[in-house]
Structure 1
Amino acid sequence: MKVLPLVAISLLAITELCAQQTVDQTLILNSNGVNSTEILMKKIDNTNYNSLFSNDYGFGIFNSNTGGTNFFINAVENIGIGTTTPEFKLSVMGQIFSSAGSNEGGAIWLENTFKTGNNAARRWAIYNMTGSYGNSLQFWNYSQDQSMYGARFTITDDGNVGIGTTTPLEKLDVRGNTFVNGGIISSVAGAEIGGNIQINNPAKAVNGAASSWKIFNMTGAYGNSLQFWAYDNLGCTQGGLCANRLTLMDNGNVGIGTTTPAEKFQVNGNVRWGGDTNYIYSGQDATGVYFEQSSDVPAQNKIRLQTSRNGDHINYTYLSVDATNGFSFQTIGNANGNVGIGTANPDEKLAVNGKIHAREVRVDAKDWPDYVFKPGYKLPTLNEIEKQIKEKGHLPDMPSAKIVEKNGLELGEMLKLQQQKIEELTLYMIAQQKEINDLKQRLIEKNNNKKHEQHK
C-alpha cells in the first residue's frame, strides 16, 4: 500500500515523541500483524485519546472526543476532513474558515490550470472585502498572465447585488447589457404603486429630456393599469419632467396623454402620420375601415375614409378631402353611397331631414324647354287650360298637390316644368299684346272715319 511509507515515518516520529512525552500521556502501538496498524496517544486517566491508524483503505487520525475521523488519506491520495470516504482531492465534511486582517480579508481561490488563454479566468477568488473596496463579498477572476482581472460579482453587506459594479445602489444593480431567457419579476404590494422597472440613460442630461423611464403596475388613485412615466434629472420634487406618457388599463384600454382612457384607444392631443402608404387600419374585414393619406404628391395629397360593403376591393364607398378638389363622396360597385343629414336611412344620394340654407344651388338639367319657342310647338289654348284647371285643379303637365306631398319635388324637373309654363305664358302674353295692338289700330281707324264723316 502507498500508506506504508507514511506509517514508517510515523513510527520514527513516535520514537522521537517518546523521549519528549509528558508524565500524563501514554503512547501505545498496536498492530494485528495483517492489515491494520494503530498508534494511540492517550491520557493516563484514559479520558480521551487520538489515534493515528493505517489500514487497507488509507491513513487517518481518529479523535475519541468527537467519535469520528478528523483527517483521512485514502489509497488514491484523496484527502478527507471529517469524512473517511473523500471523493475528491480534498473533501471537507463541515465548515471551512478563512480569515485575514486586510482590506481583501479571508479568501477562497479556485484555479483551473487547463484555462491558459489571456481571456480565460484561470483563477477565481472570493474575498470578504472592506476599506476602499467597500464592505462586501466580491468575486474576482484573473487570467494566467493577469492581464485580465477584476470584480465580476459583488454582494454588499447591506444586501445589494452588483454585476459590473462594486458599488450597487439597488438590490440588483447591473452595469451592462442583460439577457434573460425567462421572466423578470418585480413585485411590490403597494396601495398605488406596485412592481416597477426603471431604464436610465445618463447621457440625457438636459432638463426636459427623459434620463429615466419607469414602468409601473399601478392601482388605487392611478387606476388598475400599467403606466409608463418619464423623468429628467430634476424629477418631480424640483419641478422637472415627471409625467405619464402611456397607459395600458387592465381592461385593455390604451391611453396616450390620459391616464383614464375610456375607449380601446384614446389620445388626448394631436395625431400625425405621413407617407404615401401610411394609414390606420381597423381590421373589420378584408378592406376594412381605414383613414389614410393616399398620396405624398402635394397636388394629389388627400385624406380618404373608406369602408367596404362585402369585405372586398370591388364594392366600397369612400370619402375624400383634398386641397385641389375639396370634399367628395364616391361609391364603387354596388355599395350604397347615399348620404344622410338628420337621418340614418337616406333613400337618395343626399337626404336632408331639416332645412337647407344656401347662397346658391346649382342643378344640372337636360331638355330645357326652349322648344316652346320653336315653330310647330302646340301651345294649349286658354280654354283648354281653363278646362284642365276646373277638372283636375292644377296646370297641365304639373304634379298635383297629393303627388307632391307623397313623393316630394324633383327640383330639376320642377324647374323645367315651371320654365315651360313661364315660356308658354310669355307666348300667351305676346299673342294677347298683338290682339290689344290690333284692337287699338281698329279703334284709331274707326275714330278717324267718324271724324271724316262729320266734316262732310
Structure 2
Amino acid sequence: MPIEQGSSGNNNVGIGNSNPNAMLTVGGGAPLFLNQGASSTTPFLAVLNSAYPTDARYGWAFYDNSTNGNLDIFRRNGTSQGIQFMSFNRNTGDVAIGESSPLFLNHGSSNSTPFLAVLNSVNPTDAKYGWAFYDNSTNGNLDIFRRNGTSQGIKLMSFNRNTGDVAIGESTPLYLNHGASNSTPFLAVLNSVNPTDAKYGWAFYDNPINGNLDIFRRNGTSQGIQLMSFDRNSGDVSIGTSNSNGNKLAVRGTIGCEEIVVKSASTWNWPDYVFSKDYKLKSLQEVKEYVEENHHLPEIPSAQEIEKKGFMLAEMNMNLLKKIEELTLYMIDQEKKTEQLKSIILKQNEIILNQSKRLEKLENKL
C-alpha cells in the first residue's frame, strides 16, 4: 500500500493518493479525509468523491462548527456543504436531526425548552412550526405541543408522571385518569385543564359505592347532572337516574321517538280469545256492580296502583285491547237487541194501524 507525503511541505499524508490535500487522505476516487484545520466550511472528517474536501462533491462530511459550538454532519449533494443531517451540541449533548424540519434531543429541557422537538428551525426555542415535547417542572407532566409560530403553540397532550393520567387538548381537554373516584372522572372532556374543576363538558366516573359507570354532564358545578349509569354487574342502563330497579333500561323522564316495535314474548296471551265461542263475557250488570264497588274496570289497575308501582306497557295494552274487544261484543249484542226491538215495534205499529182502521169503520156505521 503506497503512502505518500505532500510535496508542498504541508506534511499531509496520502494512502493510495499521491497528492494528499488533507492531513490524511485515503483513496483517490472516493477519498476519506481527516483534516486538522477544520472549520464551519471545511470538514475534519469526510468521505467524498473528490480529492478536495471543500469541493462541491457528493458524500458525507463532519464539521466542527465554531459558530454555534456544534458537531455537524452533512450529506454533500453537489453543493458547498449540502444537507445537514445531524448536529451535536458539544456543551449539552443535545442532538438535532435534520435541517429544514429538525428533530431535537435536548438534555437541559424545561417548561420553555423541549427535550424532543421536530421543528422547521435549527433552534428549538424559536417561534416555529412543528412538534415539541416538554418536561414540565411546574406540574410534573410530560407535555406535547404543536408549535404554530408562537413560543410553545397549542398543547395537544399532557402525561402526569406520577399517576399516568393523560390529558388531550388544552382549551377543551380530554382526560384519562388512573386514580378515578366518585369525584374524579377517569375520562372527561372539559373546558378546563383540571378535571376536578367546576367546568362544562362530559365526565365518566367509576362509582365504587354502587358499582356503576356514571356519565355526567358537567354544568359548572362539581359533578353536574347525571345523564346515564351502567351497572357493571348486570349491564342495566339508567338514564336520568342511578337505580334501574332490575330493569334493563330505566329512564326517568319522557322518551320521544317516531316508532316503537315491541316483540312478542312467550308469556303473552293476546286477547283474541275474547271472540272465541266459549268465552264467558261478563254481563253489563256484573261490570256495573264491579265498577261501583272498585271504581275502576276489571283487570285494569287502579290509580293508586299505577302511582305506586307503575304498569307494564305490554300488559296494559293487552288488557285495554281486551276491554275494547269486550266492548265490541257488548255493542254487537246491543245491536242485536236493538234490531229485535225494532222488529217488535214495527209489528206493534202495524197492529195499531189495523186497529185504528177497524175503529174508524165502526165509527162510520154509527
Change (3 A) 1:165 1:364: closer
Task: Name the counterpart of 2:62.
Answer: 165
Kindly indicate whether the alpha-carbon contact (under 8 Å) linking 1:254 and 1:264 is maintained by their aligned counterparts in 2: no
* Corresponding residue to 1:435 among 330, 337, 342: 337
CA root-mean-square deviation: 4.9
* Corresponding residue to 2:104 among 205, 209, 214: 214
Alignment TM-score, normalising by the size of structure 2: 0.52
Cα separation, 2, equivalents of 1:172 and 1:395? 96
Aligned-pair distance for 1:398? 1.5
Kindly indicate whether the alpha-carbon contact (under 8 Å) linking 2:133 and 2:144 is maintained by their aligned counterparts in 1: yes
Alignment TM-score, normalising by the size of structure 1: 0.43
* Structure 2 unmatched runs, 5+: 1-7, 46-60, 76-87, 147-153, 159-164, 171-176, 180-185, 187-229, 359-366
Check if 1:363 corresponds to 2:262. Answer: yes
Task: Name the counterpart of 2:317.
Answer: 415
DSSP 3-state at the match of 1:228: strand
State how 1:224-263 maps to structure 2 within 5 Å.
226=115, 228-231=117-120, 242-250=128-136, 251-255=140-144, 257=146, 258-259=154-155, 261=157
Aligned-pair distance for 1:341? 2.2
Change (3 A) 1:145 1:261: closer
Aligned-pair distance for 1:364? 2.1
Change (3 A) 1:174 1:385: same
State how 1:128-167 maps to structure 2 within 5 Å.
140-141=23-24, 150-151=33-34, 156=39, 163=45, 164-165=61-62
Aligned-pair distance for 1:417? 0.9
Task: Name the counterpart of 2:236.
Answer: 338
Aligned-pair distance for 1:425? 0.9
Cα separation, 2, equivalents of 1:376 and 1:227? 87
Which whole-Å deviations, capped at 9, do the CAs of 1:66-102 have from their partners, x for residues lacking one?
A: xxxxxxxxxxxxxxxxxxxxxxxxxxxxxxxxxxxx9
Cα separation, 2, equivalents of 1:267 and 1:375? 72
Change (3 A) 1:356 1:166: closer
Check if 1:404 corresponds to 2:290. Answer: no
Cα separation, 1, equivalents of 2:44 and 2:307? 87
Aligned-pair distance for 1:450? 1.0
Which whole-Å deviations, capped at 9, do the CAs of 1:238-277 have from their partners, x for residues lacking one?
A: xxx9324243553345546432646614158xxxxxxxxx
State how 1:44-443 maps to structure 2 within 5 Å.
104=10, 140-141=23-24, 150-151=33-34, 156=39, 163=45, 164-165=61-62, 168=65, 170-175=68-73, 187=92, 196-200=94-98, 210-215=100-105, 219=110, 222=112, 226=115, 228-231=117-120, 242-250=128-136, 251-255=140-144, 257=146, 258-259=154-155, 261=157, 264-266=166-168, 336-347=234-245, 348-365=247-264, 366-443=268-345
Which whole-Å deviations, capped at 9, do the CAs of 1:280-308 have from their partners, x for residues lacking one?
A: xx999xxxx9xxxxxxxxxxxxxxxxxxx
Cα separation, 1, equivalents of 2:295 and 2:302? 8
Kindly indicate whether the alpha-carbon contact (under 8 Å) linking 1:343 and 1:353 is maintained by their aligned counterparts in 2: yes
Change (3 A) 1:143 1:454: closer
Aligned-pair distance for 1:377? 1.0
Cα separation, 2, equivalents of 1:211 and 1:255? 17
Cα separation, 2, equivalents of 1:186 and 1:444? 124
The percent identity for this pair of structures is 24
Cα separation, 2, equivalents of 1:340 and 1:211? 52
Aligned partner letter, 1:364: K
Aligned-pair distance for 1:144? 10
Change (3 A) 1:265 1:154: farther
Aligned-pair distance for 1:165? 3.4
Aligned residues: 244
Task: Tell which has more relative contact order, 1 or 2 (C-alpha 8 A, sep 6+).
Answer: 2
Change (3 A) 1:442 1:196: farther
Kindly indicate whether the alpha-carbon contact (under 8 Å) linking 2:114 and 2:135 is maintained by their aligned counterparts in 1: yes
